[in-house]
Amino acid sequence: MQRSSRSRIRSLQVFDTELNADTVEWCPVSPHHSILACGTYQLQTQKEEEDVPPRRTGRLYLFKYQTEAFMSPLTELQRIDTPAILDMKWCHVPVSGKVVLGLATSTGELQLHALCDSQEGSSCLQTLSSMEVGAERLLLSLDWSTGRMDSSDVRVVCSDSAGSVSVLSWDEGGLKTLSQWKAHDFEAWISAFSYWDTHLLYSGGDDCKFKGWDLRMGPSSPTFVSKRHSMGVCSIHSNPHREHILATGSYDEKVLLWDGRNMRRPLSETSLGGGVWRLKWHPTQQHLLLAACMHNHFHILDCQQDANGGSCPVVASYVLHNSLAYGADWSRLTPSPSPTQAKETLTEVGGHLRIQYESPTASLDTFLEDDSGQYIPEDITASSTTGDGLHPERDVTSFLVASCSFYDHVLHLWRWDRTAPDACS
C-alpha cells in the first residue's frame, strides 16, 4: 500500500517592492508571527564618464499579515532606506527583551533593528546597533545561534565577498567581533549555525566547498571539507527538528541532504534546476523543505525518504514569479478560513470569479466571491472533490509562504493546501 496526498497552490497577494527584491523573513518570535520583513538590493549604475564605483542601495519593508483580510492580507507598516540588503534573519529568541532583525548589507555592515510598538499602536523597526564587519566587502549572509529557541548564548555568524566568516556577539554595549577568519578562496555565499550545537557552524563558498567549523577548536582548520557540489555553495540550513540533518544548495542546481555524523557523502541528492539560492525547513513540519531556485521558481520538497539515497520528491511548486527566485520563507500562521468554516456560505449563495490582481509581471490571479463580496475558498466549490482533486471531507492542511524575485521586484504571498495522505494501491 502506498500513501498519497493531493495539493493545490494559489496566490493571495502581490506587492511591488520597486527595488529588486531578494530576501523575505517571517518573524519567528511569538506573538509576532504575523510580521513579515522584505529586503531589496538595487545596483545604481553610473554614467560612463564618471570614474566612481556603482552604488548599491536597498530598502527594508515591514508588513503585517491580517488573518481576516482575504483580498489584501498584507498591510505595509514601514519602509526604511538602507544600503543594499543581501540577507536578513530574525533572532529566534528575544535579546535583552527585544525582538531583533539582523541585516547583512552591501557596505560590509551588520545592522540590528528592534521590533517596537509605534505611536499609532502598530509595529515598527528601530535601529538597535550596527558595525562594519569588513571594509570594502559585501556581507552576503547571516545566521543566529538560537535556532531551536533554547539558547541564551546569542551570537551572529556572517560571511562576506572576501571569503571570510565572522562570529559576533551583541549586548547592551553593542556588537563585538569574537572571531574572523578566511574560510573560502572566493565569495563565502552562506554561513549557518547548527541548531543543535551552537559551537558548530557551516559555510559555503564560490570555491565549490562546503565546510564545517567547531568554535571550540578555533578557525585554524575546518572539521570537514566537502567538494560534493560541483559549483558554488550558496545555501545551508540545519534542520531544527531532526538532529544532525542539514541541507545544502548550490549553483549546480542540486539539493543535498547530510547527516552531520558522516560527511563523506550525502544522504540524498535532488536536482531542481536553476541554482538553489535559499533553503528553508518548515518551522513545525520536519520533512518539508522550501527551495528558492533562481532560474527555476520555488519548490517544496518532501524529505521523508532522505536515508534511501535517492532524490526527495517535489510535492508543490510556485511558478508565478517571472524573474530570479531569491527569497522565500514559511509562515508559522495558518491561512483562514478553513474549508469547514466557509461551507455554509457556499450552500446559501452562488459564486463568481473575479480578478484579484494584475501583477507587475502581467500574471493574473483569481479568487471566488459570493454576491456580497465574501471570499469563498476554491477547495469547497464541489460537494465531493474540487477541480484539482482536493477532498473537502478529508483534513486539509494549509501553509502560508512569502517569496520574492529580483528583476521584476515583487513580493508574493501564497498558500499551499494539502490533503492528508490516503491509502491507495
Q: Could you please report the per-residue DSSP string of 258-316?
A: EETTB-SS-SEEEE-SS---EEEE-SS-TTEEEEE-BTT-EEEEE-TTGGGSSPPPEEE
Is 356 a domain residue? no
Q: Which residue has the higher pLDDT, 187 or 346?
A: 187
Q: Taking 90 as the threshold, does the pLDDT of residue 80 lie above it?
A: yes
Upper half-sphere CA count for residue 113 (Cβ side, 13 Å): 24
Is 369 a domain residue? no
Instruction: Give residue 389's region: left, alpha or beta (phi > 0; psi -120 to 50).
Output: left
Q: In 3-state terms, what secondary structure has residue 213?
A: strand
Which pLDDT does position 120 carry in this prediction?
A: 73
Cell of 172: 547592551
Which pLDDT does position 44 carry in this prediction?
A: 83
Quickly tell me which residue has 534511501 as its cell. Answer: 308
Which pLDDT does position 364 carry in this prediction?
A: 38
**Residue 52 lies in domain:** 2-337+400-424
Residue 306: pLDDT band (50, 70, 90) is: low
Q: Taking 50 as the threshold, does the pLDDT of residue 380 lie above it?
A: no
Task: Give phi and psi for 379, each to the nearest 5.
Answer: -80, 5
Which pLDDT does position 48 carry in this prediction?
A: 60
Is 354 a domain residue? no
Report how far residue 384's alpha carbon sits from residue 380's, in angstroms, rounded to the nearest whole number: 8
Is 25 a domain residue? yes
Q: Which residue has the higher pLDDT, 93 or 367?
A: 93
Is 190 a domain residue? yes
Least confident range of 79-88, 114-123, 279-288: 114-123
Is 177 a domain residue? yes
Least confident range of 94-98, 176-180, 210-214: 94-98
Number of domains forming the structure of the chain: 1
Q: Taking 80 as the threshold, does the pLDDT of residue 305 lie above it?
A: no
Residue 345: pLDDT band (50, 70, 90) is: very low
Report how far residue 59's alpha carbon sits from residue 38's, in angstroms, rounded to the nearest whole number: 8
Mean per-residue pLDDT over the chain, rounded: 85
Is 382 a domain residue? no
Q: Taking 90 as the threshold, does the pLDDT of residue 179 lie above it?
A: yes
Q: Taking 80 as the threshold, does the pLDDT of residue 341 lie above it?
A: no
Report how far residue 145's alpha carbon sits from residue 55's, in angstroms, rounded to the nearest whole number: 32
Which pLDDT does position 209 carry in this prediction?
A: 98
CATH number at residue 193: 2.130.10.10
Is 368 a domain residue? no
